[in-house]
Amino acid sequence: MAENKPLNFQWAINHGIAEEMRRDPTVFLIGEDVGKPGGPFGVTRGIIQEFGPERAVDTPISEGAIVGLCCGAAAAGLRPVAEIMFMNFITLAVEEFYNQASKMRWMFGGQVKQPFVVRAMTAGGFGAGPHHSSSLEGWFASMPGMKVVMPSNPRTAKGLMKAAIRDDNPVLYVEPLASYKMKMIMPEGDYITPIGKAEVVKEGSDVTIVSIGRMLLEAEKAAAALEQDGIKAEVIDLLTVNPFDMETIYASVKKTNRCAIIHEAKKTMGCGAEIAASLQEDMFDWLDAPVARVAAPFTHIAFHPALEKHYLPDAENLIAKVKELVG
């Protein structure tokens, strides 16, 4: 069963947060303008009206203070959901994330939990320029004790938000600004999208395509075009950047014997490098071609629409790379 009206990405996140706040009184919202303004892009509209200012808390412009408060509140038994706006601004809270949140549970032998979520937007494809469009998920995926999720559509956006709020570890929840208006019919009822589990969204036999975040759209476009040329691609939506679901990728590569990875972050030191290295170590005998990566170049994204388009990976780049693998 499904709801009659499609829901867009923004409202899917909103509904996920609100449902968890109704279910669990320890969940609260915090960040710049998340209350009466409803967030800079309206994602938290209506939450302060339902839950009041004590559970929808507007803060000063201090990312370090926001994440630091989350650490303390989570250690005391609450479940904060914070907004940092653009992902670039999260660099101002790396001390709180890395030295405190990611280590606290480990340093206290599991006696202190850190159940909080930080929402951060990436704006690639939105024309927002280098100060607002970076994909920094690889930084945080390298931190033991952190979890990082990147939903690809409204269904997984809601399901991952609910799962992240229920998790007992700090979770970085990365939202693609360029996908906010994407709509789809949603599942009915209280569902979650499990953290740490990828989804096979299209089955195939010739090549595995692993996509991260909003690059799923490009992967699906590429797979449809490749099918016209007789190449059957299996498409995997990674969904969780830390921890990786390598078992789903391994199972797919055992069928296809080839793999291409597409992500919006830079190719150098990107998450695709870790996936490729794991495949080389554990699946070498199953590979009939080198693992390919389609990602951004090692430079900063531009404001200019033509330069931004050239910078970002897309279906055309992916199609060319896959044809090299199966040629």
For residues 160 and 119, the answer to whether their CB atoms sit within 8 Å is no
DSSP 123-144: -TTTT--TTT----HHHHHTST
Q: 114: burial class by Cβ within 10 Å (0-12, 13-18, 19+)?
A: buried
Tell me which residue of 32, 250, 58 sits closest to 121, measured CA to CA: 32
Q: Name, in order, each residue with C-beta under 8 angstroms of 108's C-beta and a sequence gap of 6 or more.
A: none
Q: How far is CA 189 from the centre of its chain?
A: 23
Q: Name, in order, each residue with C-beta under 8 angstroms of 221's C-beta and a sequence gap of 6 or more.
A: 315
Q: In whole angstroms, give the CA distance from residue 5 to residue 9.
A: 13
How are the residues of the chain apportioned to helix, strand and coil, as percentages rounded to the nearest 5? 40, 20, 40
- Looking at this protein, which amino acid is placed at residue 123? A
> Is the bond preceding 115 in cis, omega lying within 30 degrees of 0?
no
Tokens of residue 224, six digits: 């449809």
Q: Name, in order, each residue with C-beta under 8 angstroms of 106's C-beta and a sequence gap of 6 or more.
A: 144, 145
Catalytic position from the list 132, 300, 304, 310 = 132
**Does the annotation count 263 as an active-site position?**
no
For residues 203 and 234, the answer to whether their CB atoms sit within 8 Å is yes
Pairing of strands 79-86, 27-31: parallel
Tell me which residue of 24, 104, 38 sits closest to 67, measured CA to CA: 104
Compute the C-alpha angle 178/224/212, nearest 5°: 40
By annotation, the residues acting in catalysis are 132
